[in-house]
Amino acid sequence: MQYGMLIDYQLCTGCRSCEVSCRKEHDLPLNEWGIQVQTIGPAKLGGNWEFDYVPVPSRLCNLCAERKEEGKKAACELHCLANVIEILPAEELSARMLELGHGKVTCFLP
């Protein structure tokens, strides 16, 4: 079964716990990352100020396939303090995005 990562960045606080847990889980050096929180803004869009934190997976992300095989959550999903990361079967991603009902949601397929 193929899985994907749903990221609801409307609620991301930029705590970077996903980065830390991924780095620790995969023993990544400081110059590499499996997921990294990007800061977007502040920017004035349509008369309103916007400022977002967006967790962005890299090509090194395999959604913690070995953890999934053991029935565990991916390290980033487990440690996300705002619960903005969900690993779901790929066929469920679009329905979950619609269920959230806002535009600050994205997905990643490795």
Each residue of 73-103: pLDDT tens digit? 999 999 999 999 999 999 999 999 999 988 8
**CATH for the 3-108 domain, from 3.30.70.20, 3.20.20.370, 3.20.20.140, 3.30.360.10:** 3.30.70.20
pTM recorded for the entire structure: 0.89
pLDDT at residue number 1: 78
Dihedral sign, Cα of residue 86, residue 110, residue 38, residue 80: positive
pLDDT at residue number 52: 95
Reported as half-sphere exposure (CB side, CA atoms, 13 A), residue 65 has a value of 8
pLDDT at residue number 43: 93
CB atoms within 10 A of CB 62: 15
Spell out the domain ranges in the chain. Answer: 3-108
- pLDDT tens digit sequence for 34-74: 999 999 999 998 999 999 999 999 999 999 999 999 999 99
